[in-house]
Amino acid sequence: MPEDVRDRTATAVARPGAGLPLAALLIGLWAIVPPYLALFGRLDVQSGTVEFVDHAVPGFVVLVAALMGYLQLRKAEPSQLVLFVGGLVIILAGFWMFSTHYGLITQNRQGIVPFGRMAWHTAPGIAVIVVGVVWTARFWSTDDGDQPDRAD
């Protein structure tokens, strides 16, 4: 491996927040699979489009944000703004997933939907929100210590 590639790879791996794209990628994949991998049974929904919109679309958004974040962190000077906005997009995708599954929590409390089925469909949205909040908090500030001193 050429020396400059090795240096860039070591910098990207050592950079704070470098593991966030991988975490988002894995959680994004998890967000997509519940309707297609019915571990706790299928939900009684009238259309497969509903499950596609509730899981696959926001999961794909998280995958794209994770890929963009990974590519930004590979750069010598990653854009803090792009990384920050990526975290906000992930939060939005998680909120989308959770809000479309809030009815399942109510149905579980009424005894209509079993707990395992509700948790299997709702937990990915919560995980997406959490990784989005961590991501956004990590890239909230552009202050990496190389700001010039302020004149008081």
By residue count, the chain amounts to 152
pLDDT band for 3, please (50, 70, 90 cuts): low
d(CA 65, CA 82) in angstroms, rounded, equals 10
- Examine the pLDDT at 102 and tell me if it is beyond 80: yes
How far from 84 is each of 6, 38, 42, CA to CA, in Å? 27, 34, 36
For residue range 7-35, list pLDDT tens digits in order. Answer: 555 554 567 778 899 999 999 999 998 87
Q: For residue 151, which amino acid is it? A: A
- Examine the pLDDT at 148 and tell me if it is beyond 50: no
pLDDT in the model for residue 83: 93
The pTM of the full predicted model, rounded to 2 decimals, is 0.77
d(CA 68, CA 63) in angstroms, rounded, equals 9
pLDDT band for 51, please (50, 70, 90 cuts): confident
Low-confidence winner among 33-37, 67-71, 89-93, 121-125 (lowest mean pLDDT):
33-37
d(CA 130, CA 91) in angstroms, rounded, equals 8
